[in-house]
Structure 1
Amino acid sequence: LLVDLDPQANATSSLGIDRGQLETTVYEALLEPEGAESAVLADVRPGLDLLPSSGLLAGAEVELVATPQREFRLRAVLQLLAPRYAVVLVDCPPSLGLLTVNALVAARAVLVPIQCEYLPLEGLAQLVTTLDLVKRRLNPPLDVIGVVLTMFDARTRLALQVVQEVRRAFGTRVFRAVIPRAVRLAEAPSHGQTIFEYDPASRAARAYNELGAELLERLGLSTVPEPIESAHGTP
């Protein structure tokens, strides 16, 4: 299951879904978790379901401020949905607001993408502080499963320096696979396709394949298994 928790809905549109035509999305699910199942789009790709997003989600943080247990809304949603899935991935917005906190409270592990540029490296310290706060106060089992370097351009000295700094700070938590800056990767979403559909032989597709294999290894999965039914599953 892929949960698009970003109001920009990039994960939704990148899969070729017209967010303007959606009647129910993760926005409604957060407000009424018991109805979350009706928002799930089944089999958007073989073996992949989607809990889509829309622009309405931008107002969710304001609406949830006065809601009891507001940091636990996504956890309530996924406690209903997760037992049907082997893996649940949550795509977070590029900010550390209430939506991202909901994702951190609901998750078992965090995958941190870092662009190989200076400003994302600066923001990493704030992310680490937020993760520590959520772990201590709201979700003790939370851990960083890995850091992935993205938009890497080997022609620039800055990118090489960022790689060195991140590997020095996070050591073996940094994935071996590095996602390159690639035109084909930028073009794929405009066609509503993944890089594996748009250009499966590209460097970017190979890099993401390597990343997927590493992630499965860290999750203890040689392949994605069939979901285990559980009345009390958590994401």
Structure 2
Amino acid sequence: MTSSDSQPDSQPDPKPSGPDSDAMGRPGRRDRVHRSPAGIAGGVLLLAVMAWLGTDAVVRGEGRTPWLALAALLLLVPLVVAFTLRPAVHVGPDRLRVRNPFRVIVLPWGRVAGLRSGYTNEVLAEDGTKYQLWALPVSLRARKRAARQEMRAQAERGQGVDVRSAGRAPGVGDAFRAGGRSAARTSPSGAGAGAGGSGPVRAATDQAMDELRELHEERREAASAQGEVTVRWAYEVLGPAVAGAVLLGVLLGVG
């Protein structure tokens, strides 16, 4: 998927900015966007259930019930959206834009120290601050499935299988060494390499992290990939949630 909120080509940008974003760090037309399909599906389902229950409480409820239902919806809907529909990772040639539940972090590639995969996927800034990539959750089940596929692929190729490393995500030390590359590779189509590919089978989020590491290695020294790390709080999420919490507390307190 790509974003299309950049300015038209006929309108010059009066401020210096990278080709992938505008001066405010918003994603440009060439950004690649990573989201969690499972998170989006779960969020849509939760919102549908909440809308059904909330509508029923407002229409059929008596006394304070409709007001309690509205306050609960005002609190819960922003939180569900924040943790399911909102997270995204915009990958551009000059910067990484991470949209987490309550913050938006823009990291020029020149200020990225590394990307780490473990039980969560994280990006490390040069100052030591780490930011979790909510849109790229780690799936141990997917890693095990990739490990089984890799073992079958190696068996078909007549190779030995190292069950300790098959499907395993690389650490920071494997990803960033002078002139080094991530050991795992992905096919051009984005699917994990198999028996006919050029590398081991990988889980989807591990493939995405490998791509981020490669792009970081390629662009970290580019002049357009320099700048400062910016962090913005998502007040559009926090505001309604806090208002709902306060309203719900008042209604429960006066009852």
Bin for the TM-score computed over the shorter chain:
under 0.3
Which has more radius of gyration? 2
**Greater percentage in helix:** 1
TM-score (norm 1): 0.23
